[in-house]
Amino acid sequence: MFWLTLSGLLLSACAREIPPHLRVEAPAASSEAAPIASETDALAALLRGDPLARRPALLDDAQLVGISEAEALKAWLELAREAPETAAPLQALAAQAPGTVAVGLSRGWRLGRVEATTPSLLAEDRAAWRDALLWLSALGPAPELSAGRSPWAWLPQGERPVEDMLAYGEAWVLRGWLDGPDVPVGPVVEALQATAYDRLALSPEGRLLRARMTPNAAPADLTALDRLVDLWLERAAADRDSEQEAHRARCEALAVELGLEEEGRLPDPLPALAEQVFEGYAASGTPDATGAALTAWSLRRWAGGCAGCAGLDRGATLGAVERWSDALAPRVAAARLAMLKDAVDRFEVGLKHNRMGESAVRLADALLGTGAGPIDVTFLERGAPAPGTWLTLTRATGAPDGATPEDGLAALRAWLAAQADRVAEDPAAPEAWKTWAARIARRAR
């Protein structure tokens, strides 16, 4: 179990002075500390009114003796007391305890670390920005390139980049609380009721969290989600002119159905459909509806063009959906395949047109979301392919080490084919999805 490996995490978290931003009041003496009866109560005490868990109270162990099933919370507390100097131990704990409070708590601590460096971020300190991405993503560290791109080049280029980056981190923490149906989100939702957190409460993630407190009794009808995933997977599998024309005809009919026509022009309807599907499930609060809404929102983010769309966790968020309902598993696999195929296509086009840097974020996101890795930060910093690019791809996909384009692209296509095989061979997948997945697998080989 994950907590049995905590000593390994602690060994990698060298002790250091806790920054003032993260200092917490010393807990009361054990003899005076009030015992806590449940994990929910413990989380409330930890949060101290902050739904983002940036300045948690490090509870006394004596307060938790009456809680029998809070191993992830206790493991996180033990690790947090060591004030880890890097994100790696927190990332490892969250990976070993998926669907628990450890995910949201670890992300909140990491966001707090980034907020503590705000002066350096405002001063455009390149090292501080680079470190911030390591705290707010699953990317691994690596020596900085001498003339690399900013690994944050995907962030919207607004007038307040620090605020935009922190807003991404805030949404990432909220998605951590949605990592599974067993997370006791009551204290998070209660904290979101404060006026200071109105923006977060009204965000897609905040709405899903609030809906969890009053779930509907009826199970969700997943027909709308099936239609959305169907269109995304068909698009991903449409490589030839005839296939693209058939998909385009479906999309034009959908755009008319949704009333999207503007001055005789029919825009891409999939972003609007994803929003509509999300809205249809967001208020239900049941596990299957919450997972369906998360799937729709992840696909909406993948389409781009919305606040909070960009990022490195869209694939990982889809991975968490499988914990919400077994019925969602084939839908998640198909959606992740669509993302991965789109990312691979964009990457290969980017290589041909010397725009690899723009496609690297999507590829890293999709690979991490399908279980590949590790991927280090230099993958995003390279504007052009280099031996390190191909070495990263071969290692991330489990292929033999390679440093040539042929090695890297072969490894990437083999990984894509393997993910497509999962969908093509899934007895629960619709026949059309199996056909499209088999086509993707065949052409990737």
Give the pLDDT confidence of 17-46 residue by residue, as tens digits: 444 444 544 444 433 556 799 999 999 999
Overall size of the chain counted in residues: 445
pTM: 0.92
Q: What is the pLDDT of residue 147?
A: 78
With H, G, I as helix, E, B as strand and everything else as coil, classify residue 262. strand
Domain boundaries, the chain: 2-211, 223-444
Other Cβ atoms closer than 10 A to 226 = 17
Other Cβ atoms closer than 10 A to 243 = 15
Are the beta carbons of 228 and 292 closer than 8 angstroms?
no
With H, G, I as helix, E, B as strand and everything else as coil, classify residue 128. helix
Nearest to 227 by CA among 299, 303, 283: 299
Are the beta carbons of 364 and 380 closer than 8 angstroms?
yes
Nearest to 54 by CA among 12, 19, 26: 19
Residue ranges in the chain whose pLDDT is less than 70: 1-34
**What count of Cα atoms within 13 Å lies in the side-chain half-sphere of residue 109?**
29
Q: What is the pLDDT of residue 8?
A: 52
Q: What is the pLDDT of residue 21?
A: 46
Identify the helix (H) or strand (E) that includes residue 70. none
Quote the CA–CA distance of 314 and 339 in Å, as a whole number.
9
Q: What DSSP line would sit under 211-238, residue for residue?
A: HTTS--SSPPP-HHHHHHHHHHHHHHH-
With H, G, I as helix, E, B as strand and everything else as coil, classify residue 37. coil
Torsion of CA 103, 52, 368, 306, to 10 degrees: 150
CA distances from 375 to 87, 136, 141, 151, 383 (A): 14, 14, 9, 13, 16
Q: What is the pLDDT of residue 146?
A: 82
Quote the CA–CA distance of 28 and 236 in Å, as a whole number.
57
Please write the tens of the pLDDT for every residue from 144-171: 888 789 999 999 888 899 999 999 999 9
Nearest to 390 by CA among 372, 402, 374: 402
Residue 406, class by beta-carbon neighbours within 10 Å (0-12 exposed, 13-18 middle, 19+ buried)?
exposed
Nearest to 425 by CA among 410, 441, 411, 413: 441
Nearest to 405 by CA among 416, 417, 389, 418: 389
Instruction: Name the CA radius of gyration of the chain, rounded.
Output: 22
Structure tokens at 179: 């990592």
Quote the CA–CA distance of 284 and 260 in Å, as a whole number.
26
Q: Return the bridge partners of 376, or none.
A: 140
CA distances from 141 to 9, 138, 367, 378 (A): 16, 10, 17, 8
